[in-house]
């Protein structure tokens, strides 16, 4: 655990803190979740996936959650919606262009 209350590696804690700060709803403490499956990161796929069983005491209404992390250009391809001002909207060509330009800018400055 860290001072922000999240458990995991630095990337996982940063993602949870970002979600807490920018998304509506409660971010669950994953320490009580049971990891039931993992697809490790590979340089071929450029992402990893973990699947958790959620304890019945959780505030969510489903029993499993999957988490995906990896290269932004790969993860974005899995998405069909984007959060804008707290609302999930369909990704259109303008969003894709914005993402591509932002990703390239980040890569040029070593932030990728």
pLDDT in tens, 54-100: 877 766 677 888 888 899 889 999 999 988 887 889 999 999 999 99
CB 38 within 8 A of CB 50: yes
70: nearest Cα among 90, 92, 107, 41: 41
32-41 residue pLDDT tens: 788 899 999 9
Pick the range with the lowest mean pLDDT from 3-12, 22-31, 32-41, 66-75.
22-31
Residue 1 pLDDT:
44
Report the pLDDT averaged over residues 18-33. Answer: 71
pLDDT at 109 > cutoff 70 = yes
Closest to 105 in 3D by CA, of 77, 72, 82, 79: 72
Q: Under a CB-based contact definition with an 8 Å cutoff, are residues 98 and 69 in contact? A: no
């Amino acid at each position: 655990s860290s001072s922000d209350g999240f458990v995991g590696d630095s990337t996982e804690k940063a993602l949870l803190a970002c979600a807490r700060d920018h998304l509506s709803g409660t971010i669950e403490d994953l320490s009580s979740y049971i990891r039931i499956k993992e697809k490790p990161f590979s340089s071929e796929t450029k992402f990893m996936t973990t699947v958790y069983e959620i304890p019945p005491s959780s505030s969510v209404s489903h029993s499993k959650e999957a988490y995906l992390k990896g290269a932004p250009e790969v993860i974005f391809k899995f998405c069909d919606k984007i959060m804008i001002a707290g609302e999930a909207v369909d990704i259109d060509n303008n969003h894709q262009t914005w993402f591509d330009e932002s990703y390239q800018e980040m890569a040029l400055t070593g932030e990728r």
